[in-house]
Structure 1
């Protein structure tokens, strides 16, 4: 066995250990996010006397917090390390859960939205779990490491909605106050898990390389443009439809439990395929998997437009989750091809800032679109963005093949 092969084995052994711990932490962190998704619009709807279009603002505040937190998260972890950043964020998540519970008790909508925003800041660090898992992985294992971490969301798909179901009436008649106390407890569990990850400092590089390439040069790459666009659309379209779904279900006469279980199946569909998405990417290529994800997102809207029975909502949510999984994991894997080790923190943070900036816009618009134009309009908006991303993927593949043939 060569020295290089030995180093790769050691690196991947550490990467597997980190990926497993981060997958468990992802399960807990993802559960906190799914709690807000399942209950935030409902809490907002109950608190607001007028202008119910703002009911989805708590979810938007959470996503906006994630967007604003991405760049600081990258800088904090670049200076103090992944583990310190993740641990501090988990403690902030516990504070956010306590504040949200207090806001529900006080029937204070703005305070509740602020608590969700703080939870979103925690989410900015949770979104870095997938990149942290890839930090110590070989090139061959990186897609699998990313998918392992996101597979932790399968447990989140059960823990989050089940937490809602078991705790929503804990302080009856004040609905969901106990749910956010439980969210604080989940954040403390995540804090304990991230203390055990080990990510060595990046290798020493020359002074000339220390700053990496200019950000504009990195972002001008054809592969970066397409990876970012597909990641943005996969996540933003998912958020647009998902945020409106609980309100649409309640509006069609279904129950809060039906909505929570629908989000549960959606989150399971989001993360369940992650057990084999990395293998599919390795076998069929990143671009093909992203294309399949985009097609599934379109399929979600087709099913949603076919009717408003429980089976239509749940089937659409499952397809929505599957489409997000293939589209977003594939786009994340594409992004890792665009930067050098010394550039990773900045590029990852900028990418997530772009993604969650658009996701925040989508989630905020979701309630207003549903209230003003109805459930069908929300779903029709998916199709033009899917077509745009498919065209960009064709542009990427065509350009890279042309470059190979002319070189």
Structure 2
């Protein structure tokens, strides 16, 4: 994929700044990963327990991803106006507030409050994903995917720990007089609040604001070529637009498939007699596969191209759907393998799609555009989460898994059609 991307100024001081920014982002992502994964593990089970209905078990995921859509716009706009630091810190703080609301809803047994709190809790998910853009703000184009992957892989530590703490935090909640299934949200609230604090104090200088300054200095020194208002030729503008479209489609389809299968796996396991420890283990493997391969994925994207890895995403998600569909419900290992493939396919799509978007959008409008892109991704995830419970209630988990695999396969002709017209 070729886009008109200016080279970064390779100054040693800027390299040191980029390393420092990545370190701060890594620390925040470790914390936010725990907050993200804790809620994923028991959200559907909590709704099923409060509502007594499997058909609505996908609603928490849908509400969380819908909330993340609104939060993506808010974080993007704040970042556009004031920088990454206040935008990301505000998003994580909202995730912490949502976690407290879920706990309160579970204590009083109020489903309406639960759904409202889950909507707010989705801000943490949106912010965890938005942080990857901050890692790429100062990165050279040839290393952009690896910068994205560094931020993503940091989420693994918290993401793997969170689900495995579902049982202990549940016991702690019970001791405190809180329903057992609400326990992981104690961890989520604390983790999101600490991530907000880390960014608010230490994410200095702000990577997006510094990237704008560097680009303005570079533009001032360069001779503007005839074209549109930002000095780009018309073909470059068209490539930029098609790049955004490709990136959105890749990330939206992978998000839809991932959320749909992931949401209903704990419910599917619960219906076959597995406890929260077993489902927590499977989700932990899934979260690990979502983020742990990021350094390798970043290298593959930078080395072999964005679109090559995007195609690999569709094929991997198809394999995940097939394995999940044929896995015996009473066996943990095949479901763990399916969820590992699901996470890997999502990782391929997210790193490739993020890099495509970052390549295509100038710093002047980057944060706002990235926020809007993540809205589309969140809406796709919300659709997958909402539909997943209904499909399982009507046709079963295997049907859902196979249908998601077919949807993932649609990435191939879509990418081929768009790139052919460029």
TM-score relative to the length of structure 1: 0.90
Which of 181, 185, 192 is the equivalent residue of 1:187? 192
- In structure 2, the residue matched to 1:55 is 57
Alpha-carbon contact 2:318-2:404 (below 8 Å) kept: yes
Which of 242, 260, 267 is the equivalent residue of 1:222? 242
Alpha-carbon contact 1:8-1:138 (below 8 Å) kept: no
**Which shows bigger deviation, 156-165 or 255-264?**
156-165
- In structure 1, the residue matched to 2:408 is 386
Alpha-carbon contact 2:24-2:203 (below 8 Å) kept: yes
Matched, 1:13 2:16: yes
Alpha-carbon contact 1:28-1:186 (below 8 Å) kept: yes
- In structure 2, the residue matched to 1:26 is 29
Q: Which blocks of at least 5 consecutive residues in structure 2 are unaligned?
A: 1-6, 221-227
Which of 100, 103, 106 is the equivalent residue of 2:102? 100
How far the C-alpha of 1:212 sits from its partner, in A, is: 10
RMSD of aligned Cα (Å): 2.5
- In structure 2, the residue matched to 1:403 is none
Alpha-carbon contact 1:77-1:85 (below 8 Å) kept: yes
**Which shows bigger deviation, 173-182 or 236-245?**
173-182
SS of the aligned residue for 1:55 comes to coil
SS of the aligned residue for 1:342 comes to coil
Alpha-carbon contact 1:34-1:161 (below 8 Å) kept: yes
Alpha-carbon contact 2:46-2:182 (below 8 Å) kept: no
Moved over 6 A (4+): 210-214, 217-220
> How many equivalent pairs are there?
393
How far the C-alpha of 1:31 sits from its partner, in A, is: 1.9
- State the distance in 1 between where 2:76 and 2:8 align: 31
Which of 132, 135, 143 is the equivalent residue of 2:134? 132
- State the distance in 1 between where 2:251 and 2:48 align: 30
Alpha-carbon contact 2:92-2:123 (below 8 Å) kept: no
Matched, 1:112 2:118: no
Matched, 1:232 2:238: no
Alpha-carbon contact 2:76-2:367 (below 8 Å) kept: yes
- State the distance in 1 between where 2:231 and 2:161 align: 41
Which of 315, 318, 333 is the equivalent residue of 1:311? 333
Matched, 1:342 2:364: yes
- State the distance in 1 between where 2:308 and 2:35 align: 31
SS of the aligned residue for 1:152 comes to helix
Alpha-carbon contact 2:80-2:365 (below 8 Å) kept: no
Matched, 1:254 2:260: no
Matched, 1:322 2:351: no
Matched, 1:264 2:267: no
- State the distance in 2 between where 1:377 and 1:220 align: 38
- State the distance in 2 between where 1:222 and 1:261 align: 40
Alpha-carbon contact 2:309-2:352 (below 8 Å) kept: yes
SS of the aligned residue for 2:375 comes to helix
Alpha-carbon contact 1:151-1:273 (below 8 Å) kept: yes
How far the C-alpha of 1:344 sits from its partner, in A, is: 0.7
Q: Deviations over 1:220-267 (max 9, x none)?
A: 833222221111111111111101111011112222211111000000
Alpha-carbon contact 1:66-1:124 (below 8 Å) kept: yes
Q: Deviations over 1:179-214 (max 9, x none)?
A: 2222211122212321211225222478x9589999
Matched, 1:288 2:308: yes
TM-score relative to the length of structure 2: 0.87
- State the distance in 2 between where 1:23 and 1:295 align: 29
Alpha-carbon contact 1:280-1:289 (below 8 Å) kept: yes
Q: Which blocks of at least 5 consecutive residues in structure 1 are unaligned?
A: 401-407
